[in-house]
Amino acid sequence: MAQTPEEWLEVQADRALARQRAQADTAKLLATFAAGVAGALVATALQVGAPEGLDWASAWLLLMTFVGVLAVIAVDRVAEADHDKVLSLRVVRGWSQEDLLAELRVAELKAVYSNDEVVRAVRGALALQLLLALATGVVAAASLLT
pLDDT at 129: 96
This model's pTM is above 0.85: no
Q: Torsion over CA of 121, 123, 124 and 126, rounded to 10 degrees?
A: 120
Measured distance CA(57)–CA(124) in Å, rounded: 24
Q: Torsion over CA of 125, 107, 81 and 126, rounded to 10 degrees?
A: -10
Structural domains in the chain (count): 1
Q: Is the pLDDT of residue 125 over 90?
A: yes
Domain range for 48: 5-145
Measured distance CA(133)–CA(4) in Å, rounded: 48
What Cα–Cα distance (Å) separates residue 31 from each residue in 97, 108, 125? Answer: 45, 29, 9
52-89 residue pLDDT tens: 889 999 999 999 999 999 999 999 988 877 777 877 77
Task: State what percent of residues in the chain have pLDDT above 90.
Answer: 51
